[in-house]
């Protein structure tokens, strides 16, 4: 039989929980978690950031039903089972080693709603309040636009880890077709052309920021369910002893959290996506996009590692 005293205080506890979210930034993280390791570590960033109110996690690209349990397990381990996970359309059947970490996990399952439907529903529910952070190929964002062409008027901001404007650190002056764009070119073309309140963090910036052994050790030594999960997933991702994570997706999360703080330069450029997946400057046809350049590497890393090692999620 339920404890009457606990029932009496339940509405107070719920009210306190809702009050604690007031003033926080509502975010949806759209991720292709499970391939490169930065997606899982970006989700951890969102979960451990005290100024975020995560409205949901949406799963993009590839074998989306197989990816989703990784996010679900992370939410379960950290006591964040109130955050729904919505699965986007499946585009292939591939798997990676990280999938094994959650392949038998059943304690928390995705919602039955599609990722695109979830994004549209939440944007309409909280007009002008949600920041959508998309760190993978943008099928879900594009599908949401197909459902609601006016999506941009409902979202506060859209931040993508996407594109390459001037070249990365290995090829300065030689732009490349960045993976998140190239993996789903028609969807990227739709998203870039939609007139969204769009900011991108491109390869120009992200390839300058890699995790050092000392930084990984700081996270590994911090005793929490979240950091334990990150180390497990990191070991599954390692291809060789020389492998080191590039923090592509985490820089996009940091830009969402504190616009402009971690970049020395931001340019507003009119961009298009061409048929080969390049993000081109086109003053005639392009839509305005804020582009984050010249990352403040050490300042960002102190901020990021501080969030991961300052939380007590799941304790």
For residue 200, the domain's CATH number is: 3.90.245.10
> In the predicted model, what is the mean pLDDT of the chain?
93
172 within a domain of the structure (yes/no): yes
Whether the Cβ atoms of residue 200 and residue 292 lie closer than 8 Å to each other: yes
Pairwise CA distance, residues 77 & 253, whole Å: 21
21 vs 242 pLDDT, higher one: 242
DSSP E strands, 50-103:
52-59, 85-87
168 within a domain of the structure (yes/no): yes
pLDDT digit string, tens, across residues 167-218:
988 888 899 999 999 999 999 999 999 999 999 999 999 999 999 999 999 9
8 within a domain of the structure (yes/no): no
- Residue 114: domain span: 25-308
> Where does residue 47 fall: left (phi above 0), alpha (psi -120 to 50 degrees), or beta otherwise?
alpha
What is the C-alpha R_g of the chain? 19
166 within a domain of the structure (yes/no): yes
16 within a domain of the structure (yes/no): no
4 within a domain of the structure (yes/no): no
Segment 95-123 mean pLDDT: 97
186 within a domain of the structure (yes/no): yes
Whether the Cβ atoms of residue 234 and residue 242 lie closer than 8 Å to each other: no
Q: Say how many domains are in the chain.
A: 1
239 within a domain of the structure (yes/no): yes
Which is nearest to 58 in space by CA: 130, 111, 3?
111
pLDDT given for residue 313 in this prediction: 57
Whether 227 has a pLDDT exceeding 60, the answer reads yes
């Amino acid at each position: 039989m339920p404890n009457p005293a606990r029932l009496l205080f339940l509405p107070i506890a719920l009210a306190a929980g809702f009050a604690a979210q007031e003033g926080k930034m509502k975010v949806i993280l759209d991720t292709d978690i499970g391939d490169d390791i930065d997606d899982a570590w970006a989700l951890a960033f969102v979960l451990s950031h005290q100024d975020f109110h995560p409205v949901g996690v949406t799963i993009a690209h590839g074998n989306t039903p197989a990816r989703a349990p990784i996010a679900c397990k992370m939410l379960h381990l950290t006591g964040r089972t109130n955050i729904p996970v919505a699965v986007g359309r499946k585009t292939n059947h591939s798997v990676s080693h990280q999938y094994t970490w959650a392949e038998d996990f059943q304690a928390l399952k995705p919602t039955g709603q599609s990722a695109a439907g979830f994004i549209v529903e939440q944007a309409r529910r909280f007009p002008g309040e949600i920041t959508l952070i998309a760190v993978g190929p943008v099928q879900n964002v594009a599908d949401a636009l197909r459902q609601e062409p006016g999506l941009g008027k409902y979202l506060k901001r859209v931040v993508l880890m996407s594109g390459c404007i001037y070249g990365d650190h290995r090829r300065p002056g030689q732009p490349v077709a960045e993976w998140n764009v190239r993996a789903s070119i028609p969807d990227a073309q739709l998203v870039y052309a939609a007139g969204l309140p769009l900011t991108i963090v491109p390869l120009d910036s992200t390839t300058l920021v890699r995790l050092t052994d000392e930084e990984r050790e700081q996270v590994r030594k911090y005793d929490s369910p979240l950091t334990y999960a990150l180390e497990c997933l990191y070991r599954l991702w390692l291809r060789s002893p020389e492998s080191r994570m590039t923090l592509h997706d985490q820089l996009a999360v940091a830009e969402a959290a504190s616009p402009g703080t971690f970049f020395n330069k931001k340019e507003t450029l009119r961009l298009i996506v061409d048929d080969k997946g390049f993000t081109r400057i086109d003053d005639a046809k392009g839509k305005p996009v804020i582009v984050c350049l010249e990352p403040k590497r050490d300042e960002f890393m102190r901020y990021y590692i501080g969030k991961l090692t300052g939380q007590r999620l799941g304790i």
